[in-house]
Amino acid sequence: MRPVNEARLARIKKISGILRGICKAFLVYCVLGFLVMVRFLVGSRQMPISFPGGGRAVYWQSYNGVAIIVSALTDRERVVLAVILALSWAVMFNCGYQLHRLMGSYSRGEVFTTKSAGQIRKWGIACVLWGVVNFGWMLAPHVIANASKKQPGEGLSLVVNGLVVVAISWFMEMASEMREEQDLII
């Protein structure tokens, strides 16, 4: 390998290692965020607080603007919200995990391989699922409690981005197979 390419590969490995560490922090954030939300759902009846506009209620606003007064929810509505939250955090965790695995491959120098192209595809699918779940949050208030103020189509941009990543991974997989075939011929 030429010295210039060796230097580039070394930079890819270094930056991928740093990004892998950031992904680990994101995975910890997902686990802690889920635990905090579950604790909040379970303990919200014992923790009424005042909020602007008067009254005493536990008020929570999710990461994408779905406003729910948790202390007013019935047990059935809490279970539905817990399932939606579990799905949301699980999909976010999966997206971070797939990116973590991809950065692990890159940090080992496995950049243009069939394995890394497949990992990019898994990451793209995780992004699509994250967009679908974000889109589902638009429907959550109708299932649970209050109406949302968000505009329709919030999660669709993530779905489109995820599909683009899946297509790119498909191209990369074909290119890596062509390269492997070429290496065998030479």
Q: What is the pLDDT along the chain (186 residues), one digit of tens a residue?
A: 688 878 888 888 888 889 899 999 999 999 998 888 888 777 665 444 444 555 555 555 554 555 566 777 777 877 877 888 888 899 999 999 998 998 888 888 888 788 888 888 888 888 888 888 877 776 666 555 443 344 444 555 666 667 767 767 766 777 677 677 767 665
The predicted pLDDT at position 28 comes to 96
Read off the pTM: 0.67
Given this model, what pLDDT does residue 150 score?
A: 46
The first and second tokens of residue 119, run together, are 């990992």
C-alpha span between 134 and 63 (Å, rounded): 10
β pairing state of 67-69 and 59-61:
antiparallel
Task: Please report the pLDDT score of residue 172 as a whole number.
Answer: 73
Task: Please give the Cα distance from 49 to 58 (Å, whole number).
Answer: 6
Residue 97, classed as helix, strand or coil, is: helix
Maximal CA-CA distance, the chain: 76
